[in-house]
Amino acid sequence: MIRVRLGHSICIGAIAAIVLTAHISAAGPRVPEAQSPFARVYLALRGCTSCSHCRTTIRQMARAGSNGGEARVTSDAVEVRYTKPQVVPLRDVIRRLAENRLHDLTLIDVLFEADGTIATTSAGATTFTLKGTGQSFPLNLASVPRPGGGAPVRLIAAVEGWREKGALTLVARQVHSAT
């Protein structure tokens, strides 16, 4: 009788362990979400980003124009992150990669993501001003709904005008309330 109960208890314990393990792995580990940086510049690339020489050179070019931003290179892009509010030298970051002299590297597209506010100037133009810096960029909201009255937002925008020497313009892709 004791053997039957002991064997039965071991079986129940094993089943409980399997169910508990399955539940924990289905839910995944509880890892706290990383806080979004103040601003990010994504530079989509085509060409050689796989060899260590090119990756190192790309990273150095991005850092040289970033004024303290952290550069990361993936297989098809460079991400420059700014963790704290500061002026973002967007034109310099883009220019360093757009005018590169690497044998097989082309800058395809640029996205910009940052915290700030959207406002209309006295001339009627829409601008995006970076939080805490006063730096502003012309903004085209396109079909994205305009947030109300100068509230803080998180903007994700394509950057236009970088192929020419003129001013850069942000074209909104997403606008989220920054809370």
Q: What is the mean pLDDT of residues 51-58?
A: 81
Average pLDDT over the chain reads 78
Token pair in block for residue 57: 């050179």
Q: Which of the two residues, 89 and 50, has the higher pLDDT score?
A: 89
State residue 66's pLDDT score: 85
Task: Convert the pLDDT of each residue in 71-119 to its tens digit.
Answer: 888 888 889 999 999 999 999 989 888 887 776 788 899 999 999 999 8
**Mean pLDDT of the 113-135 span:** 90
Window from 2-16, 40-54, 93-107 with minimum mean pLDDT: 2-16
Q: How far apart are CA 50 and CA 39, in angstroms?
A: 26
pLDDT for residue 56 is more than 90: no
Going by their DSSP bridges, the two strands 136-140 and 169-177 should be labelled as parallel
Identify residue 49 by its one-letter amino acid code: T
- Tell me the pLDDT tens digit for each residue of 13-37: 333 333 333 333 444 444 444 578 8
Q: Give the span between the Cα atoms of 37 and 113, in whole angstroms.
A: 9
Least confident of 4-13, 85-94, 143-152: 4-13
Residue 171 pLDDT: 94
Q: How far apart are CA 113 and CA 48, in angstroms?
A: 25
* CA–CA dist 113, 126 (Å, integer): 17
List, as one string, the DSSP characters of 127-173.
EEEETTT--EEEEE-TTSPPPSTT--EEEEEEEESTTSSS--EEEEE
